[in-house]
Amino acid sequence: MLKKSSFKLIFDILFYTVVINAIATFIMMPIEGFDISFSNSVYEPKREFSSSIYIAAINEIIFSVAFVFVAYHLRRAARLFMINGEFKSFNLVKNLKRSGQFLIILGLSLVVKKIFLEYHFEVTTHFFQSNSMIYLLLIVIGLSFIRLSKMLKLSILAKQEQDLTI
Amino acid sequence: MSIKINLDQVLEDRHMQSVDLAKAIGITKANLSILKTGKAKAIRFSTLERICEVLNCQPGDLLSFEPKD
């Protein structure tokens, strides 16, 4: 069983790693000339780069930012889970909902990334290309988080009403 | 809320303290305070029954309806 400190540590590691990754993306992208295939340097793009490369770069930025927000809200939700009193508050609902929304954005940006990698850069053996369902899974998890947050909100309201029934 | 609790008035008429009523009906002073201040969302029939028994009154004496403007 995970101890509270371990639980917190996992989310801290996730958050800081994602932040470092986002910073690296922001620094490396202009240096690499907005080439999003730089992570797959062994694959030489076969087509000429067009203006679509900027769309891909913007998508990469959206991906990085969305990932940071997902990690941030999950970290905050994890902290609230650990504080028993806060489980009754609406902050947890808000964080779960936000992380769900950003997970959907993350999933969609990965779909766009896949399209660009396959059709514009002809990179077909990228790590994530092995299983396309992972994008759908992210979107489904995001939608589930939003639904879960609504359920949690209803349960908190029911609890409050129960507490105020004399 | 349009429903008003007239418990203060009834208690005053009966020359009774809130603490005594809370003890008599078996609820905490904090819960009775919530009821008196109108913060309660609902009241159980069993609680209402006990209050009416102790104060020897009707539910209508405790509750009144004031429409919103």
pLDDT tens across B48-64, in order?
999 998 888 888 988 88
Other beta carbons within 10 Å of B31: 17
Put simply, the answer to whether B40 touches A161 (Cβ < 8 Å) is no
Q: Who contacts B3 (Cβ-Cβ below 8 Å, separation ≥6)?
A: B63, B64, B65, B66
Choose the closest CB to A161 out of B32, B41, B44.
Answer: B41
ipTM: 0.74
Instruction: For residues A116 and A23, give the distance between their C-alpha atoms in angstroms, rounded to a whole number.
Output: 22
CA of A166: which chain B residue's CA is closest?
A: B43
- The DSSP H or E segment spanning A100 is helix A91-119
Q: Which residues of B touch A161 (CB under 8 A)?
A: 41-42
Tens digit of each residue's pLDDT (9 = 90 or more) over A9-36 = 888 899 999 999 889 888 887 776 666 5
Read off the DSSP letter of residue B37: T
- Contact: A166, B44; criterion CB under 8 Å: yes
Contact at CB, A166 and B27, closer than 8 angstroms: yes
Cβ-based interface (< 8 Å): residues of B facing A: 27, 31-32, 34-35, 39-44, 47
Residue A14, token pair as written in the block: 């996730």
All domains of chain B in start order, with CATH: 3-56 (1.10.260.40)
pLDDT of residue A42: 46
Chain centroid offset of residue A115 CA: 18
| Spatial separation of the C-alpha atoms in residues B61 and B11, rounded to whole Å | 11
Q: Is B64 helix (H, G, I), strand (E, B) or coil?
A: strand
Residues of chain B in contact with residue A166, where contact means CB-CB under 8 angstroms, are 27, 31-32, 34-35, 40, 42-44, 47
Is the CB of A164 less than 8 angstroms away from the CB of B41? yes
Q: How open is the CA angle A66-A72-A77, to the nearest 5 degrees?
A: 125
Pick the residue from chain A with its C-alpha nearest to B44. A166
Q: What pLDDT is recorded for position A143?
A: 95
For the stretch A112-146, pLDDT in tens is 877 776 666 655 555 555 566 778 888 999 999 99
Q: Which of B41, B48, B62 to mutate to test the interface with A (most CBs of A within 10 A)?
A: B41
Does the beta-carbon distance from A165 to B43 stay under 8 Å? Answer: yes
Confidence (pTM): 0.71
- Which run of H or E residues covers position A27? helix A4-31
| Cβ neighbours of residue A103 closer than 8 Å, sequence gap 6 or more | A66, A70, A138, A139, A141, A142, A145
Minimal Cα–Cα distance from B8 to chain A, Å? 16
CA-CA distances (angstroms) from residue A109 to A14, A55, A56, A115, B49? 19, 11, 9, 10, 61
Choose among A66, A138, A134, A144: nearest CA to A102: A66
Q: Provide the pLDDT for residue A49.
A: 55
d(CA B21, CA B27): 9
- CA angle at A41 for the pair A35 and A46, rounded to the nearest 5°: 70
At A89 the pLDDT is 78
Q: Do B40 and A164 touch (CB under 8 A)?
A: yes
B42 contacts in chain A (CB < 8 Å) = 161, 164-166
